[in-house]
Amino acid sequence: MNDMIRRYGMAAALFLALPVGQAMADDGRDLYGATCSLCHQAGGNGVPGQFPALAGRVDQIAATAQGRRYLAHVLLNGLSGEIKAGGQSYSGYMPSFSSQSDEVIAAVLTYIASLGATQPAPKFSANEITAARAEGSLAPAAILEERNKLNAAHPLP
């Protein structure tokens, strides 16, 4: 392990320090803070007109299997184009977080889903993210199309 740190520097040390399993899920808030809060703000409140709120919405989207798959696809592939969320229109770009592990993505989605009123809050597993990742890389525009189909079947908050 020390050889790896010497060879790859601080990035390897940080990677090796990431928690795994249940500890990873428990750290979803911290992982969100490090990866998502710059745009979607602390607590998932968003910035009106710029970045949609996630709090109070992701738990509702995660209520269906299609919604859960869509949320995994968003984090794995990114999203671009115009969307309507929480009654407001947004036009922008969200980058892919596919370089993150399935455990990290599951932990972040679990944390975000916990910011809603759904009880018990939806929990995401690394296996769900692995399955979504196995579907292959999708263009952000394809994720927008998936969102539009999902919205037609189950209106998104």
Tell me the C-alpha to C-alpha distance, in Å, between residue 67 and each of 53, 105, 106, 153: 16, 15, 14, 10
Structural domains of the chain ordered from first start: 19-153 (1.10.760.10)
**Long-range contacts of the stretch 37-43 (C-beta < 8 A, 24+):** 39/94, 43/115
99: phi then psi, degrees, rounded to nearest 5: -75, -15
pLDDT for the residue 76: 98
Pair of tokens at residue 87: 């009654």
| C-beta of residue 72 within 8 angstroms of C-beta of residue 87 | no
Polymer length of the chain: 157
In the DSSP assignment, the letter for residue 98 is T
pLDDT at 27 (0 to 100): 85
Regarding pTM above 0.85, the answer is: no
Widest pairwise Cα distance in the chain:
53
Distances (CA, A) of 9 to 17, 25, 31: 13, 26, 21
SS3 88: strand
User: For 99-142, what is each residue's pLDDT tens digit?
Assistant: 999 999 999 999 999 999 999 999 999 999 999 999 999 999 99
pLDDT tens per residue across span 40-87: 999 999 999 999 999 999 999 999 999 999 999 999 999 999 999 999
* Three-state DSSP state, 78: coil
11 or 35, higher pLDDT: 35
